[in-house]
Amino acid sequence: MPAHPHEFRSLGMGMKQDGEQHSAGRTVWARPMGLAVVNAVVLLFCTVPLGLFVFAIVYSIERGNRGLALFMLALLVFILLLIVYVARDLIGKLGGSITLEATGLELRLAPLRSLIHRPPGCRDFVPYADIRSVDWRLEAYANIGGGMMQRAYWLERIDKPEIFLFEERAVGTLLEDDSMNAVAREIAREANVPLIERPMARGRLGIMGVWFTRAPPYAATPLPLSVQARLWRRVWWTANLAGLAFLIVAIACLL
């Protein structure tokens, strides 16, 4: 966390020593296809009952039970929205790689590689001389129902728009995977630029962290330390309540 909420902190880690040479043709990150397969299985599981719901709605209307028909229609809409969410995440997991070449980065990044941000696909070569820094920040999303924290990474370029690289989800929970931090450090080292921590920003969580979410702008106003602490507490409570609910369900299934 920066010493002051309005201060950027250059971590400066992993920068090359004088005389070190650039890598050539080394892939520092590649999206494992296993994650896309998991999403495809979930998507198939969600689409199977659609026909049954449609049949149940028509049957309920024919029987004159409009209340049940409306309830089933609501469930159908929920499943359709869930399918859109899973399909969107699937698209973001269909491939992607970052290769360190002798003079720059070869980026092959899938569109929709973030669940909240809206990054386009990126197939580009970025010379090291065009890179100013590798930036990251914590992004808090909270509402009355709970909160979650993510970590987003960008490639900051000289005189060109920044490029969204990737994100780490479920920060501050048992499901957190911080493996992308090592990738960011390696990119910064190879480009010989600083790894910069930007101040925490707050976005809109929306419904269940899935629908109507909104990422904070890249140049978002930094949050005061008191607000950051409050958001961290919200994330902690959400993670622990979710874990407790899962434990209760697991125990109930064993009884």
For residue range 63-76, list pLDDT tens digits in order: 888 888 888 888 88
- Decide: 219 and 209 in contact? Cβ < 8 Å: no
The yes-or-no verdict on residue 19 having pLDDT over 60 is no
- Decide: 204 and 140 in contact? Cβ < 8 Å: no
| Beta bridge partners of residue 250, listed in sequence order | none
The yes-or-no verdict on residue 113 having pLDDT over 50 is yes
- Decide: 121 and 111 in contact? Cβ < 8 Å: yes
Residue 196 is predicted with a pLDDT of: 96
Confidence of residue 174 (pLDDT cuts 50, 70, 90): confident
Residue 97 is predicted with a pLDDT of: 94
Confidence of residue 219 (pLDDT cuts 50, 70, 90): confident
Tokens for 19, please give them.
Answer: 């005389």
Confidence of residue 5 (pLDDT cuts 50, 70, 90): very low
- What is the average per-residue pLDDT within 98-123? 93
E-strand stretches of 22-130: 26-30, 97-100, 104-109, 122-127
Residue 223 is predicted with a pLDDT of: 92
Closest CA to 210 of 57, 82, 51: 82
- Decide: 235 and 175 in contact? Cβ < 8 Å: no
Separation CA 133–CA 197 (nearest Å): 10
Q: Which residues contact 45 (CB under 8 A, 6 or more apart)?
A: none
Separation CA 83–CA 151 (nearest Å): 25
Write down the residue that tokens 């269909």 correspond to: 94
Question: Hey, how many other C-beta atoms are within 10 angstroms of the C-beta on 215?
Answer: 21
Closest CA to 92 of 175, 33, 29: 33
Residue 65 is predicted with a pLDDT of: 87
Residue 2 is predicted with a pLDDT of: 40
Collapse the DSSP code of 214 into the 3-class scheme (helix H, G, I; strand E, B; otherwise coil) and give the result.
Answer: strand
